[in-house]
């Protein structure tokens, strides 16, 4: 292949990839399927890569001129490079933590773990796709482990017809799980409150001393860290995520983990 054709091919591949990436994120945002900081980040990254692909030769020449000159421009480039490497390293570290915590056994105990299903959005009184994944995962575990009790945790948002806990409770009962095994925690508005209020139910009802958290895989690490802060010995079972939603929620979770450790 002609050496001059290689940069052109790289630009075409990058540009096409960025265009598809942008189409996916903008579609999610416009449709309302995923309007969060992850979608916004995906859109910004897509535009940056597309801009780079379109103007790659001019961009490289400009950066080279700035680098060869003495002054603040070179220092800015170094700072941007260092910050970019730190961001990449942080994202890689968080991704590894997400993967390693996606499925972990609950700590050993003389009593079976309490299954805690963390809430997610309810749409028109029915579970969203992410919430349905959590419900399905909880159902499979509860069927395989009839000795376990279950706490469904999630309050009612301003845009929800019923609480997330009520939605999960009703779906699990319809699927065949005995209602006596299910406890509802319907006050929470965040992951921390999910777990804090669920712990209160565990203690009040004497359900057990360990927990098994069920949420989407990318959310398991942060949920387990919060549980540890609240002195809840736990493991987790990661529920699936539709592939077209995964990039948006993965990017959002990177911010969530960072916020958890900084604040």
Tens-digit pLDDT profile for residues 166-187: 999 999 999 999 999 999 999 9
Rounded-to-integer distance, Cα 228 and Cα 100, Å:
16
At residue 169, the pLDDT reads: 98
- Tell me how far apart the alpha carbons of residues 253 and 120 are, in angstroms, rounded to a whole number: 14
Using CA atoms, how far residue 35 sits from 26, 39, 138, 162, 204, in Å, is 10, 6, 26, 21, 37
Give the model's pLDDT for residue 74: 85
Residue-wise pLDDT for 43-85, tens only, equals 999 999 999 999 998 998 988 888 888 778 888 999 999 999 9
pLDDT band for 107, please (50, 70, 90 cuts). Answer: very high
Q: What is the pLDDT of residue 2?
A: 58
pLDDT at 258: 94
Q: Using an 8 Å Cβ cutoff, are 183 and 152 in contact?
A: yes
Q: Does domain 103-242 have CATH number 3.40.50.620?
A: yes
Tell me the percentage of the chain whose pLDDT exceeds 70: 98
72-101 and 246-262 are packed helices; what angle lies between their axes, rounded to 10 degrees?
100
- Helix, strand, coil in percent for the chain, rounding step 5: 60, 10, 25
For residue 117, give both structure tokens. Answer: 């299903």
Residue 3: pLDDT over 70: no
Mean pLDDT of the chain: 94
| Cα–Cα distance for residue pair 180/85, rounded to 1 Å | 52
* CB hemisphere CA count around 259 (13 angstroms): 9
> Mean pLDDT over residues 212-222, rounded?
98
Alpha-carbon span 121 to 182, nearest angstrom: 19
pLDDT tens readout for residues 131-145? 999 999 999 999 999
For β-strands 114-118 and 211-216, DSSP reports them as parallel
Q: Is 138 in contact with 165 (CB distance < 8 Å)?
A: no
- How many Cα atoms sit within 13 Å of 80 on the Cβ side? 8
Segment 12-27 mean pLDDT: 95
Q: Find all residues with CB under 8 Å of 232, minimum gap 6, and list them.
A: 195, 199, 202, 210, 211
**For the residues 5-16, what does the mean pLDDT come to?**
86
Please state the separation of Cα 53 from the chain's center in Å: 29
Termini Cα distance of the chain: 52
Q: Which segments of the chain belong to CATH 3.40.50.620?
A: 103-242
Average pLDDT over residues 86-105: 96
Q: How far apart are CA 128 and CA 27, in angstroms?
A: 17
**Residue 247 confidence class, pLDDT cut points 50, 70, 90:** very high
pLDDT at 176: 97
pLDDT of residue 8: 83
Query: 238: burial class by Cβ within 10 Å (0-12, 13-18, 19+)?
Result: buried
Per-residue model confidence (pLDDT) at position 70: 72
pLDDT on residue 12:
92
Confidence of residue 17 (pLDDT cuts 50, 70, 90): very high
């Amino acid at each position: 292949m002609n050496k001059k054709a290689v940069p052109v091919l790289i630009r075409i591949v990058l540009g096409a990839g960025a265009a598809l990436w942008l189409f996916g994120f903008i579609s999610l945002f416009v449709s309302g399927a995923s309007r969060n900081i992850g979608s916004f980040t995906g859109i910004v990254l897509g535009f940056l890569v597309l801009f780079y692909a379109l103007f790659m030769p001019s961009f490289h020449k400009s950066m080279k001129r700035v680098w060869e000159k003495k002054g603040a421009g070179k220092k800015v480039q170094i700072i941007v490079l260092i910050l970019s490497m730190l961001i990449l390293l942080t994202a890689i570290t968080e991704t590894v933590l997400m993967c390693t915590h996606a499925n972990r056994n609950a700590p050993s105990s003389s009593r079976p773990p309490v299954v805690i299903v963390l809430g997610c959005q309810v749409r028109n009184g029915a579970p969203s796709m992410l919430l349905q994944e959590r419900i399905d995962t909880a159902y499979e575990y509860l069927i395989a482990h009839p000795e376990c009790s279950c706490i469904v945790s999630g309050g009612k948002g301003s845009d929800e017809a019923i609480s997330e806990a009520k939605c999960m409770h009703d779906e699990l009962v319809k699927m065949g799980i005995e209602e006596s095994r299910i406890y509802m925690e319907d006050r929470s508005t965040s992951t921390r409150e999910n777990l804090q209020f669920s712990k209160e139910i565990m203690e009040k009802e004497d359900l057990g001393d360990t927990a098994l958290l069920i949420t989407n895989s990318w959310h398991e690490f942060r949920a387990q860290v919060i549980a540890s802060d609240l002195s809840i010995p736990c493991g987790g079972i990661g529920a699936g995520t539709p592939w077209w939603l995964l990039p948006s929620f993965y990017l959002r979770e990177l911010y969530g983990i960072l916020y958890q450790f900084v604040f």
